[in-house]
């Protein structure tokens, strides 16, 4: 049947209809046309529109990260100046955090748990009250000496803002895309590593899967947040690793950059590659152990002290005593003091340098702080654990300690979060892009050797063969 025949047949059918039926058919045709036009618009304009929204959201998150980060650093500086006055109050701060969440939290106490549940499609709401709750709780934790991080706050703030903005948008899957973009913006704005932040947000929700659907909005949000937080005065931590390596050789002609270490008489130095791989095994085991022990500690203390306020009070008093006894707060806060020392020198007799047990204490006390119920995150302490472990293990593996410290900084974070590309990129953005081959080898091996553990409630793909 050709077009004219179809048209004539439709015309005959239409002519035999009642006026009411004709009106109904016209309404149906208009609705169908409207749906087609709307579908076309959503298909071709949703990504550009979401990217523009992500840029605006990234600017807002960047400003929030600058404010949050600067207050956090001020709180840590105040504690470090007067540890004897603040660290004994950790238990009282914990009780205050618990009571605040109990009265005003209404779901916000789940923190990263609710972000991952929404990101994986298991739930559909993140309350806006989470933002002030987690920020204030983290400030108090750090002011009074708890060993915790800050990335959890950044990711939660970004994800919460992105998710709630998405509710006003008429595009399919806007909620998921904006949540991922918000996570990237939070991480990128706080640490000012936009490429690593983009990779982290894309790969952390589901193991072994890159959420490329959200790639462009996430990247735009991360870069925007990074730029805005920088303009607002938040400083980025970075190290010129090659300059440190040259310094370890006294600036002589035998000093090598990281890329030069891969070559021996113009060929790939397999001895160096094997050393990196062995170091990656160590970092993978330690990162995986941190994730597993954190999960076990949370379960153990929740059963030991079912009353949350009693748990945080008792453990807070215990932690205060430990922090004061161990050099009055050396292991309190983010651990940036240990990171700085990891790239300043090893073996100095006055105790101002990294010691072989530093990573062990930071490892254990961070787990206890978070298991007690204090707020914060794990990533910066993981940077600290990895850097100190690397610095003190360098001699064992025959590697320069700044290089080993830098590799541990990234690889322990990657193995504990069960991510691959984020730690590789964070190593490059912090220590220089010519270090990429070294970070690639170590982070790949660490990722393989972490036992599939993660500090986050990641979703695992079910593969069918």
**C-beta separation of 86 from 145 below 8 A:** yes
> What is the structure's pLDDT at 348?
35
> What is the structure's pLDDT at 36?
56
> What is the structure's pLDDT at 462?
54
> What is the structure's pLDDT at 170?
86
* CA 87/CA 433 separation, integer angstroms: 39
* CA 175/CA 168 separation, integer angstroms: 10
* CA 65/CA 229 separation, integer angstroms: 6
Pairing of β 267-268 and β 263-264: antiparallel
Q: For the segment 211-222, what is each residue's pLDDT rounded down to a tens digit?
A: 888 999 999 999
**C-beta separation of 140 from 73 below 8 A:** no
> What is the structure's pLDDT at 28?
66
pLDDT above 70 as % of the chain: 86
Predicted TM-score (pTM) of this structure? 0.88
Q: For the segment 200-244, what is each residue's pLDDT rounded down to a tens digit?
A: 999 999 887 788 889 999 999 999 999 999 999 999 999 999 888
The first and second tokens of residue 304, run together, are: 């030991």
| DSSP secondary structure of 70-128 | HHHHHHHHHHHHSHHHHGGGHHHHHHHHHHHIIIIITTGGGTHHHHHHHHTTS-----T
Which alpha helices (DSSP H) does 326-378 contain, by range?
336-342, 358-372
CATH number of the domain at 241-460, out of 1.10.3080.10, 3.40.50.2300, 3.40.50.620, 1.10.3720.10? 1.10.3080.10
* CA 411/CA 427 separation, integer angstroms: 8
DSSP 3-state assignment of 254? coil
**C-beta separation of 339 from 353 below 8 A:** no
Report residue 209 CA to chain centroid gap: 16
Q: For the segment 321-370, what is each residue's pLDDT rounded down to a tens digit?
A: 999 999 999 999 999 999 999 988 544 333 358 899 999 999 999 999 99
What does pLDDT average to in each consecutive run of 10 residues of the chain (465 residues)?
Answer: 55 61 62 55 76 97 97 96 96 96 86 90 91 95 95 93 93 91 97 97 87 93 98 94 69 63 86 96 98 97 96 97 96 96 60 83 98 94 97 92 95 97 97 94 97 88 49
Long-range contacts of 399-402 (CB under 8 A, 24+ apart): 399/275, 399/276, 399/279, 400/244, 400/245, 400/248, 401/248, 401/342, 401/346, 402/239, 402/241, 402/244, 402/245, 402/248, 402/343
Which residue ranges does the chain devote to CATH 1.10.3080.10?
A: 41-231, 241-460
The first and second tokens of residue 28, run together, are: 């149906």
The first and second tokens of residue 440, run together, are: 């690639």
CATH dotted code for 41-231? 1.10.3080.10
């Amino acid at each position: 049947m050709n077009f004219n025949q179809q048209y004539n047949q439709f015309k005959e059918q239409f002519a035999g209809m009642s006026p009411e039926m004709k009106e109904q058919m016209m309404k149906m045709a208009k609705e169908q046309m409207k749906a087609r036009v709307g579908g076309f618009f959503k298909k071709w304009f949703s990504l550009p529109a979401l990217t523009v929204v992500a840029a605006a959201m990234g600017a807002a998150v960047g400003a929030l990260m600058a404010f949050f980060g600067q207050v956090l650093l001020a709180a840590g500086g105040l504690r470090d100046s007067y540890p004897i006055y603040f660290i004994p109050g950790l238990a009282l701060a914990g009780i205050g955090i618990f009571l605040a969440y109990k009265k005003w939290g209404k779901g916000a106490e789940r923190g990263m748990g609710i972000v991952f549940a929404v990101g994986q499609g298991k739930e559909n709401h993140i309350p806006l009250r989470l933002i002030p709750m987690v920020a204030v709780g983290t400030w108090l934790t750090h002011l009074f000496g708890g060993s915790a991080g800050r990335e959890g706050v950044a990711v939660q703030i970004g994800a919460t803002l992105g998710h709630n903005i998405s509710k006003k948008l008429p595009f399919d899957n806007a909620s998921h895309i904006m949540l991922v973009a918000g996570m990237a913006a939070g991480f990128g704005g706080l640490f000012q590593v936009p490429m690593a932040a983009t990779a982290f947000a894309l790969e952390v929700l589901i193991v072994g899967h890159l959420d490329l659907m959200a790639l462009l909005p996430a990247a735009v949000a991360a870069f925007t947040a990074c730029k805005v937080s920088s303009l607002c005065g938040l400083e980025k931590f970075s190290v010129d690793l090659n300059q440190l390596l040259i310094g370890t050789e006294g600036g002589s002609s035998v000093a090598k950059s990281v890329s030069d270490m891969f070559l021996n008489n113009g060929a790939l130095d397999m001895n160096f590659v094997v050393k990196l791989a062995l170091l990656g095994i160590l970092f993978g085991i330690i990162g995986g152990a941190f994730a597993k022990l954190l999960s076990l500690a949370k379960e153990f203390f929740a059963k030991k002290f079912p009353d949350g306020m009693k748990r945080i009070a008792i453990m807070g008093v215990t932690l205060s005593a430990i922090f004061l006894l161990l050099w009055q707060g050396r292991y309190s806060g983010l651990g940036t003091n240990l990171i700085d020392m990891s790239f300043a020198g090893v073996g100095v007799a006055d105790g101002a340098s990294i010691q072989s047990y530093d990573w062990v204490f930071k490892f254990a006390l961070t787990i206890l702080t978070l298991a007690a119920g204090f707020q914060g995150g794990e990533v910066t302490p993981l940077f600290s654990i990895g850097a100190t472990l690397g610095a003190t293990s360098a001699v064992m593996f025959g590697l320069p300690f700044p290089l080993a410290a830098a590799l541990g900084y990234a690889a322990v974070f990657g193995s504990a979060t069960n991510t691959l590309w984020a730690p590789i990129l964070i190593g490059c953005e912090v220590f220089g892009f010519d270090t990429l081959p070294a970070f690639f080898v170590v982070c790949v091996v660490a990722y393989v050797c972490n036992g599939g553990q993660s500090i986050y409630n990641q979703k695992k793909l079910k593969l069918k063969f």
